[in-house]
């Protein structure tokens, strides 16, 4: 009975999404996250053709990259958007907004010392931490055809570490500068 009810609800939701003339539901993925070898998925609902509410999940792992031996992350992000003009297909739709989210990190890095021993770049780090991050975002969304979607956005903010498990004895900062760069492709219902 549960499966039949869930299937019926899914069919009704998909039917409602396809019945909309203007974009109402957007599903997208950040192609820049392919560097981290894992997917990013975001679902955005547009209200009154001026406001958007987006929920995103991202995860990834980067190894052996400029003094960074291992960087793993996983987290959710809730982004509220205000479009400057009503959202229309075949037009660039600029927006700004705010975001709030959580991120679980594992960072391992070793500072690099040159052969003379005088210069050092980076520092030794080995920790796991949860964090809450928040900030502002701005970008442009473009729906060139019937359903295809392109979006570019950037976000700037701050993240506060919480529940830090430090594997070294060095002092960790209380937070970090949160920078986001997304180039997304997706589907508009």
pLDDT tens column, 107-136: 777 665 444 444 445 556 678 889 999 999
Cα 187 to Cα 6: distance, rounded to the nearest angstrom: 23
Cβ atoms of 112 and 124 within 8 Å: the answer is no
Cα 26 to Cα 185: distance, rounded to the nearest angstrom: 10
What confidence tens digit (pLDDT) does each residue in 44-100 have? 999 999 999 999 999 998 887 655 677 789 999 999 999 999 998 889 999 999 999
Mean local confidence (pLDDT), 151-157: 96
The pLDDT of residue 24: 79
Assigned token pair, 69 = 């031996």
Please say if the pLDDT value at position 155 is more than 50.
yes
Residues 6+ apart with CB under 8 A from 21: none
Give the sign of the dihedral formed by CA 102, CA 106, CA 112, CA 117.
positive
Q: What is the pTM of this model?
A: 0.77
Q: Exposed (0-12), middle (13-18) or buried (19+): which is 187, by Cβ within 10 Å?
A: middle
């Amino acid at each position: 009975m549960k499966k039949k009810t869930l299937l019926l609800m899914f069919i009704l939701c998909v039917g409602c999404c396809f019945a909309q003339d203007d974009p109402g539901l957007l599903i997208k993925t950040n192609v820049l996250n392919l560097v981290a070898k894992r997917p990013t998925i975001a679902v955005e609902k547009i209200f009154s053709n001026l406001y958007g509410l987006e929920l995103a999940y991202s995860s990834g792992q980067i190894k052996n990259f400029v003094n960074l031996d291992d960087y793993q992350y996983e987290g959710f992000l809730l982004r509220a958007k205000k479009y400057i003009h009503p959202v229309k297909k075949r037009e660039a739709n600029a927006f700004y907004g705010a975001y709030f989210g959580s991120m679980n990190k594992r960072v391992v890095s070793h500072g690099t010392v040159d052969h003379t021993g005088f210069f050092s770049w980076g520092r030794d780090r080995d920790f796991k931490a949860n964090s809450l991050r928040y900030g502002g975002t701005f970008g442009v969304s473009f729906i060139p055809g019937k359903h295809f979607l392109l979006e570019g956005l950037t976000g700037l903010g701050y993240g506060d570490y919480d529940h830090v498990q430090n594997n070294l004895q060095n002092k960790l900062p209380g937070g970090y500068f949160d920078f986001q760069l997304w180039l997304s492709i997706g589907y508009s219902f």
